[in-house]
Amino acid sequence: MEEHRAQRRLESLCRHLLQQSSDSLPVLRQVPLIGGKLELSESGEGDGEAVIIGGMVLDIHAVPSTPLILGTTSPGKVYYFSGGVARNVAECMANLSARPFLISALGHDMAGNLLLDRWKSAALPIDGIRRHEDIRTAVVCNTLDLNGEVAAGVASVQDIETFVSAEWIQQFRKQIHSSPVLMVDANLSPLALEASCLLAAEYKVPVWFEPVSLTKSKRVVSVVKYVTYTSPNEDELIAMANELSPGSRIHLTHVEKSIKDLPLESVFEILKPAIWVLLEKGLKVVVLTLGRNGVLICSRGGPNFMTTFSKNSQRFSSRRRLFNAVASSCPLRMYVDPGKSSEDSSHLFALHLPALPATVKKLTGAGDCLVGGTLSSISAGLDLVQAISVGIAVARATVESEENVPPTFNPQELADDARSVYSAATVLFRGPMRISSREIVYHVDYSFASPCVAYSSITVAFLKNLELDPRVLVLLPSSKKSVFLFAGKQRRLHQFSVCNFLLLRTRLDEASSSFIDEKLFLRIESYVCMYMRTLREGLILQAKAIKYGFTPTVFSSNQLIHLYSSNGLLKEAQRLFDEMPERNAFSWNAIVSAHVKARNLTQARALFEAATQRDIVTYNLMLSGYVSAEGYETDAVELFRQMQSMSDVIKLDEFTLTTMLNLVVKLSSVSCGRQLHSYMVKTGNDLNGFARSSLIDMYSKRESFGEALKVFGQLGGRVDLVSRNAMLAACCREGELGMASDLFWRETELNDAVSWNTLISAFAQNGFAEESVKMFVEMGKNGIRWNEHTFASLLGACSALKDLKLGKEIHCWVVKNGSILNPFISSGIIDVYSKCGNMKYAESVYATDEVVNSFSITNMIVGYSSQGNMSEARRLFDSLTEKNSIIWTALFCGYLKSQQCEAVFELLNEYRKWEPSNVLDPLIIVSVLGACALQAGLEPGKQTHAYILRRGIVMDEKLTSALMDMYSKSGSLGHAEKIFDEVIKRDLVHYNIMIAGYAHHGHRDRAFQLYHKMLDKSLRPDTVTFLALLSACRHCGLVEVGEKYFRSMTEDHNILPEIDHYSCMIDLYGRTNQLEKAVDFMKTIPTDFDAVIWGAFLNACKLNGKLQLAREAEKRLLAIEGENGSRYVQLANLYAEHGDWAEMERIRRKMRGKEVKKLAGCSWVYVENAVNVFTSGDTSHGKAEAIYSTLGFLTGELSEMADRRIRESSPTL
């Protein structure tokens, strides 16, 4: 039975594997774990006296407050530290009054800005720090466990090698030549290392090589003959010796105690051969750091070399009291024995300097500060022993500090400590070396190495082809079911790595199951699971376990559940969970998280209730699932109350509270938000940057901008990037673009891509398209990389500006970078092309869109409607099998824009049939009201208003303005006024509609009064406002008032007049018989005249009887609109009114010759909730016969009545 079950499971896994890429397994990256901390390529700074070349690193430490659970977010605190070996060394030197010159590289990103800001604050030169938009600043992100050790980490340091190049270093030849000492760290590429050392060698500047890490320490090979000093720990020493002596690999044998627990003399005997290899290859001095065992200074041929000075050192500078004190109390050359001056190069000298007792708070940075203190002392003129004594004193001060590098040091304490170290120094060895490097054997053991070593032919053959790294933990199966375990210790801290597990798994794949020990397999499996990144890896691993009949560990099963659910294999994850013989809290969290991610909240809740072990993470997972889904708000509130009632077991954390703040935004409940804020303050959960940003976001989205400002103001000088970006978004959301700009430009070095994108988007959305484009250009100049969010925002500005060229450039960029698949990007490009009138380009983008989305469909429909091509818009609409409210709204807006009011009402009937239970979307209602306004349909407009009230639809700005416009244009100005008076927060649109309504109905004084009230409310008028005012003046013949408002546009409000404003003024002059003024006014128009201008002028000529000017206008008008039939009719009527029948006939002939037709006149009437449309000569109406019969009867009656009146009024003869 079990065999059949296993077979079915294997078949299921194989089916999933077949769906994966057939590519070979990806090589696992080398991930060095160091005693709970992930060590990465660290780097540093320097300038002035000593030159320091290396990287600068931002260290991020995430410290959880609860046990870590893979696959989910844990509450805790996140700390940022300026880090990196070279940077730490340089900063330490600066804090000891030196002025190191740093040669390094930083990107134009957040990490680079933070590091550079810290460096600038020390008033040190930045000339050597290379900045480039292509550089990604080195960042190390470590997640610690509850014991303070690294549980996982990620490093991104590769750009140091690329950009701190030999060419860049060559520029600083002068600084290197005048330096007392040059320090290079092993983060540099071999070429850069060699270039640096060659520059130093030209002027005999001593070189200090800092190994950085075990792997990178091997880069000493290319520069060993130039290096004066190096400062490895035990494992770096072994690695360097192995690399320098490749013909004789150094092996480690088992001893009973770890090397750090051995007596100093035994440690030296173990490491002495490796020290000798380095000295034989050309290194002058090996400064071996042994942690609590102190420092060993080793040189070849005796101690004389240690007491030489750098030729460029500043002998006991008066500004350096520390070094003067050390020099006066520590006698020079105290270890030089005249009787031993004849020691030759076959002799080894080893001097031991003890470590100082310390209360350790933090180990990070201690080794770097030891080097920094030493280099500062060498630069000041101390000999090497004196300098390292100072370095040990500095290291003690560092481990007792909370910082990587203490900001200040006490010179007197350092001098006293250095004196103590110097006086306690002892000669550990002084004599000839007679051991060959080929005979070296090293001894090391660790507590986890218990199931140690049995050699076999398979094991030995495998080892011959494997370049073993001393830090790598390699478990190899052998035919005797034994394990070869090879372990090492990284600098200062323990570590292991899994960089060769890929090779190991290949070996397992090839091995027969009879040679596989279950404990060995499960141990390997656990390590491999920690670094699985692809679904294929997980499937293969589980298949192997089933094949060998092994039960996976709880840890590996949890990892696999997370991997499967992340890749959409929820059933596979659930099956694996069901088969687990034992589960822990992580198991329950993993499966609940899987169902929450799949939006399967019912099953997630069932598993939540069934969980035998629940913690705060379990509750948070369920809570976040409810909050992010629609319709589960009540469940979220109930679960939160349950969590509160269990305060003795479950402690609410920052994640819980920020999740609830998101729910507050969703429910629009500011009062609940304030209660949560109060609770966060009481419990101290408001101090985290993400909590602060969530509070700012909540208040600003719920129209409590003042409180958002207050939260931000309470940060004072502790503003972090997350909170700053949240406040920036809040200002933009509130329309406070001035405040947002002030905040943005206050500290530009703190801005990241999110900051730039927020402002670019805000400018585009608030009508400042040109500013948005300028910000985009500035973003590039500042070295911030553009991303998809940048271009999505910029495309909106392109659409507003109708900038086809820029739109094409963005289109090219997104295609090249694969961003065209982003629905916001593709729909934005379609919008740009359609707004620019190029539907051919828009259609090509739509046709190649791999995933058709509602955004692109909407923009296509809007594009067709803007071109008046509603038939194509309707065809696209009808081709869709599924339609959402966005697409329906787009078609409604298209019909309204093309003034097809009947189509709007017909579409409304279709929509109600499609979703009869749905409440109409407010934007659809706006379109219906717009159609009512165009037809002056008061009755259907009132019915729509009643529908809004009956359904309880919120009357937002768009709805209130649409209702006012409908009532105003339908002749019910009183209703429009009533709605206007009820609006609490009136905007410019409301005022414009009422001013236009007053103007349309002849209430000029009320229009002018409302305009001035609007100005008193600090609302700025726009082009629509002035068009309404000029229309009021035109209707009433107020020339002087009209001229005043026209001048005010440009002089008072910086608004450029548009064609409609110019034509309105021409019409005003024409109606008041001031045609000369109209002619003079036209001469001031800066743009080319279009048909609207010439049409207004022609009407002015008609009113004033100026036929000669009318003929001039005719030529210009027909040249522009020769196909517009209404223009011919306008001209014919003008000539007919003045009795010029010949000219009228000429226009008629021209019209017939071009076969131009005028659209027939049209009228409509509402009867029984139906629109009845009539055009001139149309008999297609269903009741045409009755209508025309009635019309004939009325015409006859009117004619008879007219005849009777004439007879009665005629004099009797």
Write out pLDDT tens, residues 608-626.
888 888 888 888 888 888 8
**Sign, Cα dihedral of 917, 922, 926, 932:** positive
* Structure tokens given for 1169: 């909730």
pLDDT classification of 1182: cutoffs 50, 70, 90: low
Residue tagged 């290392």 (tokens): 193
What secondary structure does DSSP assign to 189-214, as a single string? -HHHHHHHHHHHHHTT--EEEE--ST
pLDDT classification of 1162: cutoffs 50, 70, 90: low
Per-residue pLDDT reduced to its tens digit, 456-482: 333 333 333 333 333 333 333 333 333
Per-residue pLDDT reduced to its tens digit, 669-710: 777 777 777 777 777 666 565 677 777 777 777 677 777 777
* Structure tokens given for 1061: 């404003």
Q: Is residue 784 scored above 50 in pLDDT?
A: yes
Per-residue pLDDT reduced to its tens digit, 110-128: 888 888 888 887 777 888 9
Cα distance between residue 133 and residue 573, in whole Å: 42
Cα distance between residue 988 and residue 957, in whole Å: 10
Average pLDDT estimate for 843-868: 78
Task: Give the pLDDT confidence score for residue 1117 in this predicted structure.
Answer: 65
* Structure tokens given for 211: 């190994």
pLDDT classification of 206: cutoffs 50, 70, 90: very high
Task: Give the pLDDT confidence score for residue 27 in this predicted structure.
Answer: 30
From 107, 161, 113, select the one nearest 137 (Cα to Cα). 107
Question: What percentage of the chain reaches a pLDDT higher than 90?
Answer: 12
pLDDT classification of 966: cutoffs 50, 70, 90: very high
pLDDT classification of 70: cutoffs 50, 70, 90: confident
Domain ranges of the chain: 232-445, 447-519, 917-1153, 1163-1209
Average pLDDT estimate for 124-152: 81
Task: Give the pLDDT confidence score for residue 535 in this predicted structure.
Answer: 53
Per-residue pLDDT reduced to its tens digit, 412-426: 889 889 988 998 888
Question: What percentage of the chain reaches a pLDDT higher than 70?
Answer: 74
> For 226, what's the count of Cα atoms within 13 Å in the CB-facing half-sphere?
24
CATH class of segment(s) 917-1153: mainly alpha
* Structure tokens given for 1027: 């068009």
* Range from 182-191, 333-342, 555-564, 693-702 that averages highest in pLDDT: 182-191
Helix (H, G, I), strand (E, B) or coil at 438: helix
Per-residue pLDDT reduced to its tens digit, 172-202: 888 898 899 999 999 898 888 988 998 898 8
* Range from 246-255, 573-582, 766-775, 844-853 that averages highest in pLDDT: 766-775
Average pLDDT estimate for 77-104: 88
Cα distance between residue 734 and residue 712, in whole Å: 15
pLDDT classification of 286: cutoffs 50, 70, 90: very high
Task: Give the pLDDT confidence score for residue 104 in this predicted structure.
Answer: 93
> 920 CB contacts (<8 Å, ≥6 apart)?
911, 928, 947, 951, 953
From 268, 260, 334, select the one nearest 304 (Cα to Cα). 334
Chain centroid, CA 818 distance in Å: 17
Task: Give the pLDDT confidence score for residue 515 in this predicted structure.
Answer: 42
Task: Give the pLDDT confidence score for residue 1160 in this predicted structure.
Answer: 55
Helix (H, G, I), strand (E, B) or coil at 629: coil
Number of residues assigned to the chain: 1213
Task: Give the pLDDT confidence score for residue 596 in this predicted structure.
Answer: 87
Task: Give the pLDDT confidence score for residue 434 in this predicted structure.
Answer: 60
Task: Give the pLDDT confidence score for residue 54 in this predicted structure.
Answer: 93
CA distances from 370 to 331, 349, 937 (A): 21, 21, 86
Per-residue pLDDT reduced to its tens digit, 1101-1157: 777 777 767 777 676 666 666 566 666 666 777 777 667 777 777 767 766 665 555
What secondary structure does DSSP assign to 969-998, as a single string? HTT-HHHHHHHHHH-SS--HHHHHHHHHHH
Average pLDDT estimate for 584-593: 85
Residue tagged 């740009």 (tokens): 832
For residues 1191 and 927, which has the higher predicted lDDT (pLDDT)?
927
Bridge-based pairing of strands 76-83 and 101-107 is unpaired
Region of 884 on the Ramachandran plot (φ > 0 left; ψ -120 to 50 alpha; else beta) = beta
CA distances from 670 to 288, 679, 704, 730, 748 (A): 62, 14, 8, 15, 33
Task: Give the pLDDT confidence score for residue 481 in this predicted structure.
Answer: 31
For residues 651 and 480, which has the higher predicted lDDT (pLDDT)?
651
Cα distance between residue 653 and residue 638, in whole Å: 17
What secondary structure does DSSP assign to 144-192, as a single string? E-TTSSEEEEEEE-HHHHHHS-HHHHHTTHHHHHT-S-EEEETTS-HHH
> 1023 CB contacts (<8 Å, ≥6 apart)?
1055, 1057, 1058, 1061
Mean pLDDT across the chain, nearest whole number?
76
Task: Give the pLDDT confidence score for residue 1013 in this predicted structure.
Answer: 92
**Sign, Cα dihedral of 176, 177, 179, 184:** positive
Task: Give the pLDDT confidence score for residue 777 in this predicted structure.
Answer: 87
> 490 CB contacts (<8 Å, ≥6 apart)?
32, 34, 35, 39, 213, 214, 233, 235, 471
CA distances from 321 to 27, 96, 313, 392 (A): 54, 10, 16, 18
Average pLDDT estimate for 1088-1106: 73
Q: Is residue 573 scored above 60 in pLDDT?
A: yes
Beta strands in 686-839 (DSSP E): none
pLDDT classification of 1196: cutoffs 50, 70, 90: confident
